[in-house]
Structure 1
Amino acid sequence: MNHAGRRDKLRKLLKKEQLDALLVTNFLNVTYLTGFTGDDSYLLVTPTDAIIISDLRYDTQLHDECPDVELCIRGPGTKMIDFVQQTIEKSGASRVGFEADSMMVSLRDAVADAVPQVQLAPTSGWVEELRVIKDKDEIARTRTACDQARRAMEVVRAGITPETTENQIAADLEYQVRRFGGKGLSFTPIVGVGYRAALPHGVATDRQIKEDDFVLIDWGANEGLYMSDLTRVLVTGKISAKLRKLYNIVLKAQLAGIAAIKPGATCESVDAAARKVIEKAGYGKEFGHGLGHGTGLEIHEAPRLARGQKTELKPGMIITVEPGIYFPDWGGIRIEDDVLVTRDGHEVLSSVPKELDECVVG
């Protein structure tokens, strides 16, 4: 990955905002800018240098993962804030930006006390905005995460029995993702049998598959850094008329949303393309969340597909498309895929079957 190129883009923002340096304290942003996969480390980016402030636990790892970055390594019994002070003073910076969205107020105050001669300037979303557009390596790693999620689901689905519980499905997904080379799941999976599928962020329980005719599973793989996010509804009993009707509406809405994805389209227009299908069918009130979100180093990143979101899609963005319809006394249907915005439209990165008849278990 071109970490030096990412830092150069950040330096353009420094110049534009007339800052001498940016103190990066969000660990994921440090990873994005340097390739260092550990934590408890900060990064000072100046117009000419990049210095990681860390400790001896990571000395070897830092040399291996980011040999092109200057290191400031503290030993036992020393304080991080003292090394932050030394690094800023050595850089000669008089106006330093900090990540206001993630830095604790106490840390900001400690830095201010340590370098009272330096003006601290709050910044918002600088690195996160760079992270929105994925490069070839990031896209490739997301493909891997989608494939690991697919392979894990195939194994888990094949092992489902009437006595299988939501908790067992969740645990097995974690195990299978790791078996296929992933670091683990992207997040705690959402597994809901029957009426519990109406909980968009429900927590798995010991409810068994045989207690209803379908189960909603929302899961994803972390391939090491980058994440996937998928949702499928599996039919484990009879397909009722209501289930078939609602499922087909949600699938039609999802396909409409995906079809609307292209460079220049606004996030709210993609949301509207899917939402109109559900509203026209009479279930607008039962679709109570946005259509999707970006993925990357975190499972929820910019941009957001939702009403009022004017952001225009650009090639390299990766977004989820996940419409749903929910009835608390019955259950819910949600179908989710990860989609890459390409120069001429879009590409669906996930490939788990989603036609209703393909989702029948057994």
Structure 2
Amino acid sequence: MSQAAQRRNKLRSQLKKQGLDSILVTDVRNVSYLSGFSGDSSYLFITAKNTIIISDFRYLQEIADECSDIDSVIRSSTDSMIKVSAKLIRKSGVSNVALEGDSLPLAIAEAIHTKMPKVDFVTTSSIVEKLREIKSRSEVALIRKAVYAAQRAFGVITSSLTKDQTEKEIAFNLEHQIRQFGGRGTSFDPIVAVGSQAALPHATPGNQTIADADFVLIDWGADYDCYLSDITRTMVTGKVTAKYRKVYNTVLQAQQRAIKRIKPGAIMSKIDAAARGHIANAGYGKYFGHSLGHGIGTYIHESPRLAENQHIPLQRGMVVTVEPGIYLPGWGGVRIEDDVLVTRNGHEVLTNLPKKLEECILEV
């Protein structure tokens, strides 16, 4: 049985527990996760006994090569996904259908329902995403490759950094280097923020140059075969001030405290509290306003979340980021982020770029 088939059976068990006959999977990454299909613009209809991919002529070969163990319905260029999906659901005879409420536009859901008023459509949340929280060995292997591409690219960028380089140039160069090391590209638009721009957690790279300040925050990741990495380092490119040293070491210590607590059964909110409490005790509590971390996989932000309101345990196989930060308006910010796998007895930090302050000083 293929890995995708095993995942579909787990999903069927979840549907049965909730009294659901079937599900129309419309999120492109969930379709891929449950079928092995690498294309897009396709749906997956799963019942207790059957799985059918709804696609079009462009993907005939991919369907044959990647998901030959499921049935397919190929719509014509004149038939809409709504029309074909409704016809398939009607033919199946199911009494209810789960819909992916987190990704399916309301207009499409209503249009499908209008064609079949006697079928009960149930809006669900994260029913597939919950399955995706636990990564298989093959998924972890792909995330490792995404980490490798991202770290090698970063090494090239930092070793060749010059004072006249702009934030935009660094961001563009990161993507080029990631492709050089086997990645499909970046896992998101890189954040490159010099000096005071680093006070913006999701700053957009601009025309500021490395020479404009004494440090630069870089948040980037690689896409390797649709699995993603997410890393942040804040690098000194000029003088290390006493203020910078205090802020940087506070963030580093907060991250270390949190990572140390990661293991199966650890409560996510308590891991967040370990980092958040340390930053607060140093006097910077109000300058750390986002959650501590999030899951990664085929999306850059997946469940679970390491956050104050997540009173649930970590499980073996989860991969999460740990990324505390301090952001001081008008001065700048420091964030340090690593990707961490929850293992049988603890954790493994998948990323291994240096992060002690003395190791993050560049000669430019």
Aligned residue pairs, count: 362
Deviation at 1:116, TM superposition (A): 2.5
SS at match of 1:116: coil
The one-letter code sitting in structure 2 at the alignment partner of 1:299 is I
Deviation at 1:3, TM superposition (A): 0.5
The answer for the alignment partner of 1:62 in structure 2 is 63
Superposed CA RMSD? 1.1
SS at match of 1:103: coil
The C-alpha deviation readout for 1:66-119, integer Å capped at 9, x for no partner, is 111111001222222221122112222121111122211111111112223322
The answer for the alignment partner of 1:233 in structure 2 is 234
CA distance, structure 2, for counterparts of residue 329 and residue 76 of structure 1: 55
The C-alpha deviation readout for 1:308-359, integer Å capped at 9, x for no partner, is 2112100001100011111111110100000001110110000111111111
CA distance, structure 1, for counterparts of residue 214 and residue 101 of structure 2: 48
The one-letter code sitting in structure 1 at the alignment partner of 2:118 is Q
SS at match of 1:164: coil
Spell out the pairing of 1:163-178 with structure 2 (5 A cutoff).
163-178=164-179
The answer for the alignment partner of 2:285 in structure 1 is 284
SS at match of 2:228: coil
The answer for the alignment partner of 2:41 in structure 1 is 40
CA distance, structure 1, for counterparts of residue 98 and residue 32 of structure 2: 18
Deviation at 1:125, TM superposition (A): 1.1
Spell out the pairing of 1:323-362 with structure 2 (5 A cutoff).
323-362=324-363
CA distance, structure 1, for counterparts of residue 93 and residue 289 of structure 2: 51
TM-score, with normalisation over the residues of structure 2? 0.97
The C-alpha deviation readout for 1:191-245, integer Å capped at 9, x for no partner, is 1111111110000001000011110000001112111100001111111111111
CA distance, structure 2, for counterparts of residue 220 and residue 35 of structure 1: 23
Contact 2:83 2:112 in 1 (8 A): no
The C-alpha deviation readout for 1:276-316, integer Å capped at 9, x for no partner, is 21111111111111111111110001111111211210000
Spell out the pairing of 1:287-302 with structure 2 (5 A cutoff).
287-302=288-303
Contact 1:44 1:52 in 2 (8 A): yes
CA distance, structure 2, for counterparts of residue 358 and residue 229 of structure 1: 20
User: Does residue 151 of structure 1 match 2:180?
Assistant: no
5+ residue gaps, structure 1: none
Spell out the pairing of 1:128-207 with structure 2 (5 A cutoff).
128-207=129-208
User: Does residue 28 of structure 1 match 2:23?
Assistant: no
Contact 1:209 1:215 in 2 (8 A): yes
CA distance, structure 2, for counterparts of residue 7 and residue 220 of structure 1: 29
SS at match of 1:169: helix
Contact 1:182 1:222 in 2 (8 A): yes
SS at match of 1:111: helix
Spell out the pairing of 1:238-257 with structure 2 (5 A cutoff).
238-257=239-258
Contact 1:303 1:311 in 2 (8 A): no
CA distance, structure 2, for counterparts of residue 215 and residue 164 of structure 1: 12
The answer for the alignment partner of 1:105 in structure 2 is 106
CA distance, structure 1, for counterparts of residue 198 and residue 359 of structure 2: 19
SS at match of 1:106: helix
The one-letter code sitting in structure 2 at the alignment partner of 1:334 is R
Contact 2:192 2:203 in 1 (8 A): yes
CA distance, structure 2, for counterparts of residue 8 and residue 302 of structure 1: 21
SS at match of 1:290: coil
The one-letter code sitting in structure 2 at the alignment partner of 1:341 is V
CA distance, structure 2, for counterparts of residue 6 and residue 211 of structure 1: 51
Spell out the pairing of 1:263-278 with structure 2 (5 A cutoff).
263-278=264-279
CA distance, structure 2, for counterparts of residue 82 and residue 197 of structure 1: 49
The one-letter code sitting in structure 1 at the alignment partner of 2:301 is H
Deviation at 1:33, TM superposition (A): 0.5
Contact 1:166 1:206 in 2 (8 A): yes
CA distance, structure 1, for counterparts of residue 323 and residue 107 of structure 2: 38
SS at match of 1:289: coil
Contact 1:22 1:44 in 2 (8 A): yes
The answer for the alignment partner of 2:79 in structure 1 is 78
CA distance, structure 1, for counterparts of residue 180 and residue 229 of structure 2: 16
TM-score, with normalisation over the residues of structure 1? 0.98
SS at match of 2:205: coil
The answer for the alignment partner of 1:261 in structure 2 is 262
CA distance, structure 2, for counterparts of residue 252 and residue 120 of structure 1: 49
The answer for the alignment partner of 1:117 in structure 2 is 118
**Deviates most, 45-54 or 62-71:** 62-71
CA distance, structure 1, for counterparts of residue 172 and residue 211 of structure 2: 18
CA distance, structure 1, for counterparts of residue 297 and residue 175 of structure 2: 19
**Deviates most, 335-344 or 87-96:** 87-96
CA distance, structure 2, for counterparts of residue 329 and residue 69 of structure 1: 56
The one-letter code sitting in structure 1 at the alignment partner of 2:5 is A
SS at match of 2:362: coil
